[in-house]
Structure 1
Amino acid sequence: MPSGAAVCTVGGARAHPDGFGKQMNRNERRATSWAWVGRTCVLAAVLCAGAIGCQGGGKKPPRAREVMAPARDVPEVLRNTVGSQTSLIGMDPVVVSGYGLVVGLNGTGSRSVPLPIRTYMEREMTRLGVGREIGSLRDVSPSELLDDPNTAVVVVEAIIPPAAPQGAKFDVRVRAAPGTATTSLEGGTLYTTELRLGAPDPTGPVTAVLAHARGPIFINPFIDPASESGDGVVRTIGRVLNGGTFTGALNPALVLDTPSHSRARAIVDAVNTRFPQGTSRLPTARGISEDTIEIRTPDAYRENTAEFVQLLRYCPVDQTAVREWARRYVEALPENPELAGELSWALQAVGELAVPYLRKLYDYVEPIPRLAALRAGARLGDMTTRPHLEEVAMNGTPAQRVDAIRLLQDLGPDPKTERILADLLNSPQMDVRVAAYEALAARRSSLVTVRRFGEKFELATVPSSESMIFVTQQKAPRIVLFGEKPSVNRPVFVEAWDGRFMVSSQTPTDQVRVFYRDYRSGRITTAELEPDLVKLIEYMAHEPTPENPAPGLGFSYSEIVGALAQIVDDGGVDASFLPEVDVLALELQRGAQVPVVERPELSESGPLDSLAGVSEAATESDRAGAEGESDTKLSDEERERRRKRFVVPLTNPEAPPSKPPPNDG
């Protein structure tokens, strides 16, 4: 099935959308650009003919010939879908960026800023009120703020989700601006930054603001093997988890390959039948002209716009025979396993009427058609998929097990499923344990205990025979402790950050002593705690206030993650340490390699420009490929050894405190 016109990031490879670790064999490409070229040529020919005709006396102008869009490379069975007859415009992820200011650093910022960037920043800061008579920054000029060593000019980058509605949240990446001398963004906070389409250009034209970003910066505390810094940690790159907010006004649209009022009406009816209005007064699809249909993301898909785009793409146009199309799709699955991902989406787009046909493949002998059918059935809420998914979750390949668990989490409550997911918390495979936790958390299981520390992060604990600490690096900041009452070993000696943070205990019965010296004020804080890891995390996170003066260090999420990584690396806790895969960095790296084209703006007569975008399926392909390689080519011991390399190593102070004596028994 063809994908939407996407040119702002990588196109080409697509993931197998059934999510069971397979790569699709078809290289789906659109003829969208050729359709636009054809129509442009027709208009140019007509205009030229008119101009010649007005010149009196010459030869008759040649007749304009319409250049038809070439036929799409679409399998016969999928030619009734919306995506086979239209181009999806404005429904792809898009890279946005801007220059911003990070404040609250510990003298690690930079006053040296390239002149074009400095001029741009001073102009923008003045426009936003810095140095005016009112406001918190009334007593400081933009130039003085940029010269402060506790501030840094940064490049802020993000990817707006496909067909994102206003208010959609997303992660943003922050890096020190090139040409500056910033050495670390650790402990900083990003001031509100405007994000625009494409790469930042301080001397380029001003384009529309599509999003804003702000918030505390999370520094990845894990080693970058390519880093040349002393401890391998790249402190000039960070992110703000869920710190981006989409504020633009986009008008996604479908553009018909062949303009036709009757065809446009049929597509509008098909889309609105599959995605009814619900509580909204606006329809999902609204015809604008004979070749343009405006699309509005339904409220039910505000948090998962990528799924809506896929369902829209595979929605059947002919709504008079949807059962017949469901039958054809199911019959085509065993015969065309290379189309399994596309057919699975097509069956989901049919809706609940496809379920009776899907059930014929739930126990099919070949895994690819079977798993594609199970995915479609589970997404459509068919409870009879449960025993089949449970069997895959227990006995499938590593990638299949993870995806089956994710499908189980959205099915209705069932005691047996709860028991199976609880058992999977004890799996020797880390990815399976994490998937089981996420499924139980989504199902609001009593096995998952959650405590929130304001807007900083969420701390969850789950029972498991395999001790592990899992930390997220995207969206909601979260620390998950696997194990039965995780505790700090005694005796123990842990130090980090050049001796500014230490955890120690001299004997197996001593309390755990914590020492911290604040790098901003030099103030020293000490405490004695129980050897309970949860208590230690609570102490690190809590910031004393007049309302709650209990002692605490007030660490940020990034600092707590770094401290936990050091504690695990120094043997302070018997647990594996697993950071979440950094998907955003990969997406931005790929997105920077392809030229950017403006998003379309819909006028009353239809769309004027085509859209640049990121292929959501390609993102899934990279993710699936990475997970598949991790699970199929590496043993658990090798994966654990490699993950150990991603823990911040010990950095000894000049005069380290004495270490505890060895335990004699």
Structure 2
Amino acid sequence: MSLALWIGLVTLVGCENNSTRQMPEAAPPPLPFTGPRFLHGTVGSMAKLRGYEPQLVSGWGLVVDLQGTGSSDVPEYLRRKLINEMARKGMGNPRLNAKQWSPRRVLSSRNTAVVAVYGLIPPGAVVGSTFDVWVTALPQTQTTSLVGGRLFTADLAIDGTNPNLSFSKPYANAFGDTYVSPVVDDVRKESLKYSHQRTAVILSGGSVTMERKLQLVLNQPSWARSRRIAERINQVFERGVSDRNQTAIAQTDLLIDIHVPKRFAGDVEKFLELIQHLYVQGGVDFEPVQAAELGDVLKNFPHQAEHVMLAWQSLGRTALPPIRRYYADEDILVRMTALEAGTYLEDGLAVEPLIMLASSLDEDVRARAGRLLVEHPRSAAATNHIRHLLNDASDKVAITVYEALAYKRDPLFIQRKLMGQGTEFKFMLDIVEAQRPRVYIGQGKTPRIVIFNSYAGFKTPVFASLWDSRLLVKAMEPNDPMEVYYRPWTSDDEPVKEARTYTIAPTVANLIFLMAQKQTLQNPTDGLNLGYSSVVDAIYTLNKQDKLMNKLIFQENPLAVQVAEARKVEFTPTRPETAPGGAGSGGQNDSNMDLPAVGPDDQRLPAAPTRSEFGSDRSGRSLEDENSHEDSGQSGMGAVPLP
């Protein structure tokens, strides 16, 4: 063989070796299962949820009904948009008898304010789901306060506060009364007080108008696995009569669409957790064995209690025999985990162990046991202990039990009056059957004022003056009728409105009803027609003066807490044409508007005046008539004007 041929062969081999060495190694295939080993075989170990994140939406809006604290300042880039928006919704239309409220006149009033509106659509929200929204006066306007205002319906979209006003499809809308917390003791500097009143929260003010797609993405593509997972989900979470789609639909070998059944609309998070902890394998030969194995995991690894409980609940009632073994376990965490799983599976044998725990010296244990006892409406023993827990010395225990009852809308313990209807809804007034007097200001998904002991009154003598003497409250003796004087606020260009004096029974419940009540043909009882924020402010002021027999308890709204923190940070005014992302620079993101990070709202609370908590009473009967006798507000709660 010639020398040239040898050289060619060596060169060729060398090139092949170099190319072989330079080729990157192939990435390992994705694992079929992820997560803890005891959850392998569940939907969550084979797939991940997509679309399960809160969605930031925003938009421009108009707050009306202010008391001279607004501004006629409207940025030019917003004026035309707002005028068109108000005209589209009927303002200024003579056919609707709204000619006197022309859009231009409204914008020029000091009783209105242009605002930016922000909200976080909850994960898995369906059409009609509600969420809190945050409104803030624009920095370049002279608005001084949003107290007592009402947001005109505003559309919310992704990047909806872009100064370029580029169109974005609305995902939600927002409206309702602004709420500014009266608890401002820490706001001492004048500049901070000014900032405090220029931002507000609208509790449950946002409403979802477009459903967000929820999907499961498999770890490995497989048509067989995709179909099997969908079949198992549909087997356990069947489509309801009013549901349009199957709960799970296998779209590809990698994607499964998830549709939340309407019966879970009030607790989407719980539904999605159950799906992720659902074992794809099922059957009477599998579920009891798997439940026993989960019990061993719980005993050996108590920190996995939440995962074990959800997996137990997903297995169904055939898993109850192994779960019951832990109802009397010496480890309180193990015992409570088993009892919560058994309660979800409607096991009546869980009642007696829960009653024993409801007498614990630990208030956390009593609170959790009480919450679970509410889930046993057919047990007379559970009902009796609920009554004791509502009178518990611990506020935490009493409020936790009330929250569980409110979610069920239990008429045995709660008399409810809706203050306002539809778009004029203000708050729920709940009267709780209890002896220990409390007033609970609820600021979760639905604004509420809760009275424990409807007969509780005031520490007399009472003489309180509020809002520059526009509201006067007087009661000299414990059993004397209470006199309430009110003079409505009027602007300089309006005629003075007539002041009136009312007399009512001297109870906190009657005073709250009088302040919020609006006289209508359906409910002719007269009242002051004040909003939630004003009513809370009045009760808070009376409490500061030590005039309430009831203990006042505030539930801090998570969004309101974040807004309070944000007020401590200086908001730098910017002009649209000079702001980052302003005109000519491609738009401004919502994040540039100094929106505070928002945490999750309290769970298992009602969503809105006509939503999931109006589901059933303690015997499971339908409660569709919201204007039934227990909601009429006529049970000694009327107000009669003095002659």
In the alignment, is residue 354 of structure 1 matched against residue 316 of structure 2? no
Partner in structure 2 of residue 458 of structure 1: 428
Among 147, 158, 165, the alignment partner of 2:108 is: 147
- What CA RMSD, in Å, does the superposition of the two structures yield over aligned residues? 3.6
Alpha-carbon distance in structure 2 between the residues aligned to 1:62 and 1:377: 57
Among 126, 135, 140, the alignment partner of 1:179 is: 140
Partner in structure 2 of residue 304 of structure 1: 267
Partner in structure 1 of residue 203 of structure 2: 241
Partner in structure 2 of residue 543 of structure 1: 518
In the alignment, is residue 379 of structure 1 matched against residue 336 of structure 2? no
Partner in structure 1 of residue 253 of structure 2: 290
1:294 CA drift (Å): 0.9
Partner in structure 2 of residue 400 of structure 1: 365
What are the Cα deviations for residues 408-447 of structure 1, in whole angstroms up to 9, with x where unaligned? 2122322211111111122121121122334445373534
What are the Cα deviations for residues 341-372 of structure 1, in whole angstroms up to 9, with x where unaligned? 11111111222222111111111111222222
Q: State how 1:489-638 maps to structure 2 within 5 Å.
A: 489-506=459-476, 510-520=480-490, 521=496, 523-545=498-520, 550-585=525-560
Q: State how 1:24-103 maps to structure 2 within 5 Å.
A: 65=26, 68-69=29-30, 74-103=35-64
Alpha-carbon distance in structure 1 between the residues aligned to 2:271 and 2:563: 23
In the alignment, is residue 313 of structure 1 matched against residue 279 of structure 2? no
Alpha-carbon distance in structure 2 between the residues aligned to 1:618 and 1:484: 32
Partner in structure 2 of residue 210 of structure 1: 171
Distance 1:471 1:618, change over 3 A: closer
Query: After alignment, is 162-171 or 545-554 more displaced?
Result: 545-554
Distance 1:71 1:545, change over 3 A: closer
What are the Cα deviations for residues 199-237 of structure 1, in whole angstroms up to 9, with x where unaligned? 732237533211111223333332262463599694333
1:120 CA drift (Å): 5.2
Distance 1:254 1:580, change over 3 A: same
Alpha-carbon distance in structure 2 between the residues aligned to 1:179 and 1:557: 28
Structure with bigger gyration radius? 2
C-alpha contact (below 8 Å) 1:284/1:296 kept by paired residues: yes
1:63 CA drift (Å): 9.5
Distance 1:552 1:131, change over 3 A: closer
What are the Cα deviations for residues 115-142 of structure 1, in whole angstroms up to 9, with x where unaligned? 5555654565566566678656667765
What are the Cα deviations for residues 107-166 of structure 1, in whole angstroms up to 9, with x where unaligned? 211223445555654565566566678656667765553332111112222232322222
Q: State how 1:316-327 maps to structure 2 within 5 Å.
A: 316-319=279-282, 321-327=286-292
In the alignment, is residue 275 of structure 1 matched against residue 250 of structure 2? no
Distance 1:471 1:408, change over 3 A: same
Alpha-carbon distance in structure 1 between the residues aligned to 2:526 and 2:230: 61
Q: Secondary structure at the match of 2:388?
A: helix
Partner in structure 2 of residue 610 of structure 1: none
Q: Percent identity among equivalent residues?
A: 30
What are the Cα deviations for residues 498-554 of structure 1, in whole angstroms up to 9, with x where unaligned? 222111235567543222221124532223334233333333233345776654322
- Residue 104 of structure 1 aligns with an amino acid whose one-letter code is D
Alpha-carbon distance in structure 1 between the residues aligned to 2:523 and 2:124: 43
Q: Secondary structure at the match of 2:359?
A: helix
In the alignment, is residue 262 of structure 1 matched against residue 224 of structure 2? yes
Distance 1:163 1:553, change over 3 A: same
In the alignment, is residue 166 of structure 1 matched against residue 141 of structure 2? no
Q: Unaligned regions of 5+ residues in structure 2, if any?
A: 1-18, 491-495, 567-595, 606-643
1:247 CA drift (Å): 1.0
Alpha-carbon distance in structure 2 between the residues aligned to 1:454 and 1:92: 33
Partner in structure 2 of residue 634 of structure 1: none
Alpha-carbon distance in structure 1 between the residues aligned to 2:183 and 2:292: 50
Partner in structure 2 of residue 444 of structure 1: 410
Q: Which structure would you say has the larger RCO, counting Cα contacts within 8 Å and 6 or more residues apart?
A: 1
Alpha-carbon distance in structure 2 between the residues aligned to 1:142 and 1:452: 31
Alpha-carbon distance in structure 2 between the residues aligned to 1:615 and 1:272: 36
Alpha-carbon distance in structure 2 between the residues aligned to 1:283 and 1:253: 13
Query: After alignment, is 235-244 or 96-105 more displaced?
Result: 235-244
- Residue 552 of structure 1 aligns with an amino acid whose one-letter code is G
C-alpha contact (below 8 Å) 1:489/1:573 kept by paired residues: yes
Alpha-carbon distance in structure 1 between the residues aligned to 2:120 and 2:229: 29
Q: Secondary structure at the match of 2:548?
A: coil
Alpha-carbon distance in structure 2 between the residues aligned to 1:447 and 1:127: 45
In the alignment, is residue 200 of structure 1 matched against residue 161 of structure 2? yes
Among 304, 312, 318, the alignment partner of 1:339 is: 304
Query: After alignment, is 131-140 or 200-209 more displaced?
Result: 131-140
Query: After alignment, is 265-274 or 69-78 more displaced?
Result: 69-78
Partner in structure 2 of residue 418 of structure 1: 383
Q: TM-score, normalised by structure 2?
A: 0.76
Q: TM-score, normalised by structure 1?
A: 0.73
Query: After alignment, is 171-180 or 184-193 more displaced?
Result: 171-180
C-alpha contact (below 8 Å) 2:464/2:542 kept by paired residues: yes
- Residue 359 of structure 2 aligns with an amino acid whose one-letter code is M
C-alpha contact (below 8 Å) 1:155/1:200 kept by paired residues: yes
Q: Secondary structure at the match of 2:155?
A: strand
